[in-house]
Structures are given as structure tokens and as C-alpha cells.
Amino acid sequence: MAHESSPDDRAESSDLARGVVEALMARTGEASPKPRLHATRRVVELLGDPQRMFGVIHLAGTNGKTSTARMIDSLLRAHGLRVGLMTSPHLHVLNERIVIDGQPISDQALADNWADVEPFITMVDAELVANAEPPLTYFEALTVLTLAAFADAPVDIAVIEAGMGGEWDSTNVVDADVAVLTPIAMDHAEHLGDTIAEIARTKAGIIKPATRVVCAPQSDEAWAEIVVACERDEAPLRVLGRDFHLTSVQPAVGGQVIGVEGIAGEYQNLILPLLGDHQAMNAAVAIAAVESFLGNGENPLDRDLVEEAMALSTSPGRLQILGARPTVIADAAHNPHGAEALTRALMTSFSFDRLICVVGILQEKDVVAVLAHKEQIADVGAILGKNEPPERLTERRFFGEFVLNGDAKLADVLLVYGVSVERFSHEFSLSDCFAKAHHGHPVVGDRLDLGGIMLVVKAVKGDRVTQVGLKILKK
């Protein structure tokens, strides 16, 4: 008979798990990743390479990774496999990032595995410091912990979502059987590069020799980098819209009904309890990825099992309906590409008479690009660019400090924030403005007062400004 833990046991496990979280939080956070693999690789080598004890599907991309990973997890479990799922970030507790057989890792298992890996992490920390390098970061240590937990479970296959980037992301110590590339767009430019091509090149780094690659539709710039990576490593490439297809999408209560022509099989009338055409595409990619893993793309999946897995798919925080009367929706869109997908989904899945958006955007994000397309700049300007603060707000600094791309057009920024200047051509980019004001050699910290807004150089590449801080000045 299975032993049921007592309240005292559960309380002790909870305390131990809290200690794990505190130990991880004491390290450099996820917002400041280190472009390196050797630190994580050194720890897993000392642990006996736990990542080699199970199959791997590895996901990278800008948007859609978590939802696609969860669908892949659901499909694999429906086919009788014991699955480890690593996603990020978590919504409530860290345990959500390490899922084993459909359940977040228990507090006790989290603590036990940390006790196993911590001495080796501490050893590598010392080696790094001795070489004038920083110790393992939060995400590097978490990756080690996750791989060890999957090996300890043990799982048959791990579905692993890259944290940031791909090539030097700590999760890239795995050699994936299948690499999945979700849509690639601008995000984390300060770490990954300030062009789509640079970002795609980094994310395509999860492709290894002979890895089977499943890819969502991409821009021309991203596509070129992915093709180069696949040719370099002789990795077979399957692409949505070319090698497999989303054949139908029909709205339904609480989600949609989709049809997918996979790499090897046909799967029609699948109930997907997720909203948005982007989720339908994620589902098609997930099916193709599992076809690639289970049968090398040559054998169709069991149609009944696919139907079951899709019907059970969830993705908290992604167009998640939290309440009714009024309808309350939570979504994690945090970059222009994600905001665009959210907008389409709201327009196609709902018919609201009135829509109120509460938006939280991190300081380093491009708030203008997230909130509007160029043709909508005037509408955003009506919200953010009034000469007086919005009703019920006492001061303009409520809007805080934003970070814009250096190639943003001055004209767009002036329109959004209700400012007029004659000092620079409105056709200039923000980078052009700083170059003119500082004789072609701007440096971090340089400022421009445009009479109502203050611009500050946040990052440069050569003589070109790539990130610009913006502060609305108090009147």
C-alpha cells in the first residue's frame, strides 16, 4: 500500500523546496543570461550526463514555445510515454517549470534532486570564479536541476523549451532528436541581436548533426538562417505549409476545431480548447514534431490518441479566460509579434462591445512597437501623447521609462508622445539623432532633451545606437 505523507511531512518538504527556490534566486537572474555553454556542460559532465538518458525534443523561437511544448507533451503521454516537460517562466511556483508525467515536480523530489546536484554546482562555481567568470546563473543551475530530475524520474523523453536564444542557451547541452523552431521575431535584441537574421541564427543553434527539424512559418530573414543551419548539419527539415499543413480552422465554444495534414497522417475534426489561429498552427507543429520523433515522419500517429491529446491541451496564461460577466482574459504577449497574434485572436474569437486592456510591459521592451503598428500610431498617440495626463492620473511620469529600438523613426516617437521638435529631420531614426548630436560617436548615457521627453542611450553597437531609453518629463 502506498504511503500517504503526513501534514508534517508535507510542511517539511515545502520548507525544503522553498530553500531550493531561495538558493536559485540568489544567483544572477534570467534577465541577464550568460552567452556560454561550458559552465552548464561542465556540471552535467560531473553528474554523468543525465541529459543522455532520455530522448529529447528541443524547442526554440520567439513566440509559441510553451504552448507547442505542452501540446507535444500531451501527444507523447497519450502514446504511452513517460514525459518530462521543461518550460519557462512559471506562473505561480517554480515546480511548474519541471513537469513529470503531466504533474509539476513534487516539493520533495525538487529538494532531493537539488541536494544531489548542488555540490557539483558549487564545485563548478569555484572553477568559474577562479577563472574570473561569474558563477552559474539562475537558469543555468535550474537547467542542471531539471535534467537531473528527468533522469531520476526516469522519463522516456524530455520536451525542453529553450530559455533565451538557442546556440548558447544552457538547455543546448542536450542533443535533440527533434528540434522545433516556432515563429522567430524581434525580442531580447540586447542579448540576441538587433536583426531578425541575427536572432534566427542564434535560435537555429539548437540544430545538431542529423537532428530532425520541424519549423513553423518564418520571415525570409529567419528562413535563410534556418536553411543554412540545416544544410550545415545535414538535418532534415519539415516546414508548416510545405511538408505538413493546417487544413481547416473553425471556431467552437471554448476553442476551435482544426484539421491537420501531418507529415505522415491526416487528423481531422480535432477539438483544440485554445483560442487563436496561432494556437492552431502550434498544434500542427506539435503533431509534426511527434510524428518526427515516434516514426521519423514515416508513420502516422494513432488518430484517436491525437484527438484525445488535443482535447486535453492547456496553456495557462495564453488567452486564458479567467472569469465571465465580465469576461476576463489573461495573455502573456510581450513583444510586437505576440501582440499581433493576440489582437487577431481577440478579433476572431470574441465579439465584445467594449474592450478594456490592462497592459504591463517590462522596462526593456519597445512599448510603441508592442502597442501599435505604424498605421495605428495615431491611435496610440491619442492614449499616450496627450498634452495633459490621462483622466484621473496626477502626473505624466506614471508612464515610467520605456526602451525603444534605435532604428525607431523620430516622427513616430514624436507623434506618439505629442512632442514637436525642429532640431532634427523627422525622417531620422533615433540613432541618427544621437549621431548628429554627438558628432557620430554616441556612448551609453548620452541624453537628448526633446522638450517633453528625454532620450537616453541604453546600448550601442559600434557607432550605432541600438537601444534608447525614453522618459516622459514631468510638467
CB atoms within 10 A of CB 243: 16
Q: Lowest mean pLDDT of 48-57, 114-123, 175-184, 409-418, name the range.
A: 409-418
Tell me the per-residue pLDDT of 150-173, one tens digit each, with 9 for 90 and over. 999 999 999 999 988 889 899 999
Burial of 5 (0-12, 13-18, 19+ CB in 10 A): middle
Given a cut of 80, whether residue 330 has pLDDT beyond it is no
Render pLDDT for 345-359 as a digit per residue (tens, 0 to 9): 666 666 667 777 777
The string of pLDDT tens digits covering residues 89-122 is 888 899 999 999 999 999 999 999 999 999 999 9
Beta-bridge partners for 103: 100
**pLDDT at position 390, please?**
37
Contacts 24+ apart (CB under 8 A), 45-48: 46/120, 46/123, 46/124, 47/117, 47/120, 47/144, 47/148
pLDDT band at 461, cuts 50/70/90?
confident
Separation CA 149–CA 420 (nearest Å): 57
Task: Look at 39-48, 84-93, 175-184, 352-361 and tell me which has the smallest mean pLDDT.
Answer: 352-361
- Say what angle helices 107-130 and 7-25 make with each other, to 10 degrees: 20
Report the alpha-carbon distance of residue 409 to residue 411 in Å, rounded. 5
Could you tell me the pLDDT band of residue 313, with boundaries at 50, 70 and 90?
confident
| Per-residue pLDDT at 423 | 85
465's enclosing H/E stretch is strand 464-472
- Cα–Cα distances (Å) from 319 to 97, 109, 272, 279, in that order, read 19, 31, 13, 10
pLDDT of residue 385: 47
If you average pLDDT over every residue of the chain, what do you get? 85
297 — alpha (psi -120 to 50), left (phi > 0) or beta?
A: left
Question: Which CATH architecture best describes the domain 359-472?
Answer: 2-Layer Sandwich (3.30)
Q: How large is the average pLDDT for residues 124-129?
A: 98
Residue spans of beta strands (DSSP E) within 304-446? 320-323, 328-330, 401-405
CATH topology of domain 11-311: UDP-N-acetylmuramoyl-L-alanine:D-glutamate ligase (3.40.1190)
> What's the pLDDT score for residue 387?
42
The whole-angstrom separation of Cα 311 and Cα 257 is: 10
Q: At what angle do helices 65-78 and 303-311 cross, to 10 degrees?
A: 130
Contact 257, 247 (CB under 8 A): no
Neighbours of 387 (CB within 10 A): 9
Domain ranges of the chain: 11-311, 359-472
Q: Which span out of 110-124, 273-287, 320-334 was modeled with the highest average pLDDT?
A: 110-124
pLDDT of residue 218: 92
Tell me which of 11 and 79 has the higher pLDDT. Answer: 79
> pTM for this one?
0.73
Smallest CA-to-CA distance from 396 within 411, 378, 412, 384 is with 384
Distance between CA atoms of residues 43 and 140, nearest Å: 10
CATH topology match: 11-311 vs 359-472: no
Q: Give the pLDDT confidence of 397-456 residue by residue, as tens digits.
A: 333 456 788 888 888 788 777 778 888 888 898 999 999 888 888 888 888 888 878 888
Query: Are 285 and 278 spatial neighbours (Cβ–Cβ below 8 Å)?
Result: no
- Confidence check: pLDDT of 368 > 70: no
Q: Are 61 and 181 in contact (CB under 8 A)?
A: yes
Q: Which helix (H) or strand (E) holds 98?
A: strand 98-100
Once rounded to an integer, what is the mean pLDDT over residues 220-224?
91
CB 361 within 8 A of CB 187: no
Residue 109 to residue 86: CA distance in whole angstroms: 15
Q: How far is 270 from 268, CA to CA, in rounded Å?
A: 6
Residue of 404, 466, 411, 413 whose CA lies nearest to 435: 466
Predicted local distance difference test score (pLDDT) of residue 251: 85
Cell of 320: 486564458
What's the pLDDT score for residue 311? 93
Task: Please give the biggest Cα pair distance in the chain.
Answer: 81
